[in-house]
Chain A
Amino acid sequence: MEYKSFLIKYAEIGTKGKNRYVFEDILCKNIRSAMKRIDGKFLVRKEYGRIFVDCLEEYDFDEAIEALQHVFGIVGICPVLVVPTMPWEELAEKLVQFVDDSYEDKNFTFKANCRRVNKEYPMHSMEVNMEAGAVLLHAFPELKVDVHHPEVMLNIELRDNIYVYSVTLPGPGGLPVGTNGKGMLLLSGGIDSPVAGYMVSKRGVNLEAVYFDAPPHTSEQAKQKVIDLAKLVAKYSGAIKLHIVHFTDIQEAIYHKCPEDEITIIMRRYMMRIAQTLAEKNECQALITGESIGQVASQTIYSLQVTNAVCTYPVFRPCIGMDKQEIVDISEKINTYETSILPYEDCCTTFVAKHPVTKPKLADIEASETLLADDIDRLVQEALDTEEVMSVW
């Protein structure tokens, strides 16, 4: 069966009062840009408080579903049969055909559910329901009717045209990206940070990302890997502005001047400071990291406190309470896992001490940072001045 249309179901945005129209418009816009990535011509339209995606040319069904499943705010996608208004006898034939095409095994319970918006149609919705039940039972004796808990709900909507649908494919849920401001994601190339970006973006937040490049300690491949990861996240979040910050000089200064076991934590504090400056410049409202309590030395609750102390912006850490396997599961779902595990060093692994501090004290770390006083401000400024920016999507 060739579906000519998809009905888009959304949940949370329907409850947002006066903002509802704004949310719907943003969702429509996001669906339009998602559909632009695939072959075919699609019309996204709002009608009677619902969103339809009409397929105007030949298209690939699976590709279209996949594209829609990347648009946050969509809860369900119903492939719809659209036919012009026609007499019941003809419509009955279409229904039989629809059920025959949609279900190979017809051993299930169903219920017909008619909505008559077009009051010109000569039959009431109850009549349509009863007739449809009768026609289908006659055509497929294995079918059973169950009006309370049907396995299949056959929806027949009589509007400008007639819409028939019964299958709802799951969408990604969440809120449309662009309805909730913008966050600056610290993207490292590991497993966690792309997942963190995905999760915050799911709540309607636009993303920018910052990567700390440290050649020659990190390679060109490591940088390319981060760009590839940003691209994968962008399939959900929409275009990401990626800031590549040259971090080598700061890292080397820390290495030379600070106690070995504090290198990583001090490095992370400078990353947060730089990320926050970029967030401010680019009108973001929050920072986003992939940190998870206790995963590594720099992510113990003590370390997080010390790292967090340099931030005045809220720092969102959606992976904070997750086990590694739970994070891996999400990264597999969003298709970033395979890229994340490519074996290129990132700047955090280069200088890891054999025994890094796990219970740093803020006062100690701040004291160690005074050892950098000579030129750290200049180095940070240089890093900010020489950032490379690209739009990734």
Chain B
Amino acid sequence: MEAYFDNAATTRASEAVQTMVKKVMDIDYGNPSSRHKKGAEASRYIKDAQESIAKTLKVEPKEIVFTSGGTESNNMALIGAALANKRKGKHIISTRIEHASVYNPLLFLEEQGYRITFLDVDEHGLVDPEDVCRAIDADTILVSVMMVNNEIGAIEPIEEIGKRIKKIDPEILFHVDAIQAYGKLKISPKRCQIDLLSVSGHKIHGPKGVGFLYIRDKVKIKPIIYGGGQQKDMRSGTENVPGIAGLGVAAKEMYTNHAEKIAQIQAVKDAFLAGVKKLDGVIDNSGEAPHIASVSFEGIERGEVLLHALEAKGVYCSSGSACSSNHPAISGTLQAIGMAPELLNSTLRFSFSVYSTIEEAEYAVQVIAEELPKRRAFVKR
């Protein structure tokens, strides 16, 4: 048996997505900028994808700009907004638990003379909207907060943050990294007063190498890629039509019978956590997101060894700590929520999708139960 529980890293593309991508590569392969019929056909796919996506967010199709993925969407939102507003001010507010694709562009902006405030979170990984408000000053131009944390699945109070910052100063732009949230939560940018929202395709059974940035109508940001002026000058470069068409299909699928799908994912997560928590020395750090479980295993010195042991039996997960990555500068969510230092490397992330089953969850629990004592025997003496 195999249990692919690393869906927060990436997902399998759905059949319909695969069919669409192949069709566009094989038959409707035109360049949307071409003036002939093949160009027009290709443009149609982009418009269709924009419409499908717009419907899921209750926004206008023209507010969707396609990118090469979540990282580019975040870079474009942050750098683009900072550059467009540099005369208004140079202060940006974010949090200590953002993904590297938000954190590192912010460090880049800091080098360029912007001032960045990174807010702390509580033990559940939640940002206090009050802290956001307190951090705002006359120089503040942008607030960036993720919707769902990628390491533990905490759901941030985006709606409250959006409403409160706009009450203080409607000109402050609000960016939300929704890469782990889109497809799992119902998102309403208008109600949450979001100006910029980043999404990635491959986290929702779409293709890799494609994503989008929602840019609220009338919001002006600077493009970060220049060239032939595609997508109304916002993102030059021949559109990735197969990817975009695939993303459109994935978005539509994800939000069809959405409640049912989410209940199913949540059920797998619940079954997994219920099983794994029965084992000794297991700590559950998971937030409310339906698809992410974060678990610390006491007495496991390096979570990665357990990860490889599980891998050998077909259970795939992620090591849960950013401090084991190549960016020691990133504080990491686990540290930010105040996890004991000895557990930072003992934490694994299991993440689920519509393809995950209760049987797989039970199998994973059984494998963990077998491997855990064996791996615990290897503590440094």
Contacts and interface: CB of A to CB of B under 8 A. Distances in A.
Interface of A: 215-220, 252, 255-256, 260, 343, 345, 350-351, 353-354
A216 B312 contact: yes
Residues of B in contact with A, size category: 10 to 19
A219 B311 CA distance: 10
Nearest to B325: A343
Contacts of B307: 216
Contacts of B381: 260
A220 B340 CA distance: 29
A350 B377 CA distance: 14
A215 B308 contact: yes
Contacts of B312: 215-216
Contacts of A255: 378
Nearest to A352: B380
A175 to B, nearest CB: 41
A351 B310 CA distance: 20
Contacts, number: 31
A215 B307 CA distance: 10
Given A215-B308, A216-B311, A219-B308, 10 more contacts: A215-B309, A216-B309, A217-B305, A217-B378, A218-B308, A255-B378, A256-B377, A260-B381, A345-B302, A354-B380
Nearest to B308: A216
A109 to B, nearest CB: 51
Contacts of A217: 305, 308, 378
Interface in B361-381: 375, 377-378, 380-381
Contacts of A256: 377
B142 to A, nearest CB: 33
A255 B376 CA distance: 13
B380 to A, nearest CB: 7
Nearest to A222: B308
A53 B161 CA distance: 72
B306 interface: yes
Q: Nearest 5 pairs between A and B by C-beta?
A: A216-B308, A216-B309, A260-B381, A216-B305, A219-B308
Contacts of A353: 380
A23 B306 CA distance: 52
A220 B312 CA distance: 10
Contacts of A252: 378
A216 B378 contact: no
A216 B306 contact: yes
Contacts of A345: 302, 304
A179 B381 CA distance: 49
B378 A219 contact: no
B326 interface: yes
Contact of A219 (B304, B310, B326, B375): B304
Contacts of A354: 380
Contacts of B378: 217, 252, 255, 351
29 contacts: A215-B308, A215-B309, A215-B312, A216-B305, A216-B306, A216-B307, A216-B308, A216-B309, A216-B311, A216-B312, A216-B375, A217-B305, A217-B308, A217-B378, A218-B308, A219-B304, A219-B308, A220-B308, A220-B311, A252-B378, A255-B378, A256-B377, A260-B381, A343-B326, A345-B302, A345-B304, A350-B305, A351-B378, A353-B380
Interface in B267-323: 302, 304-312
Contacts of A260: 381
A218 B306 CA distance: 11
A272 to B, nearest CB: 24
Contacts of A343: 326
A272 B243 CA distance: 52
Contacts of A351: 378
A218 B381 CA distance: 20
Contacts of B326: 343
Contacts of B302: 345
A123 B380 CA distance: 83
A263 to B, nearest CB: 10
Contacts of B310: 216
Contacts of B309: 215-216
B126 to A, nearest CB: 32
Nearest to A344: B304
A157 B307 CA distance: 66
B373 to A, nearest CB: 13
A311 B306 CA distance: 35
A216 B301 CA distance: 13
Contacts of B311: 216, 220
A343 B312 CA distance: 21
A84 B310 CA distance: 69
A220 B309 CA distance: 11
Q: Tell me which of B308, B310, B380 has the highest count of chain A C-beta atoms within 10 A of its own C-beta.
A: B308
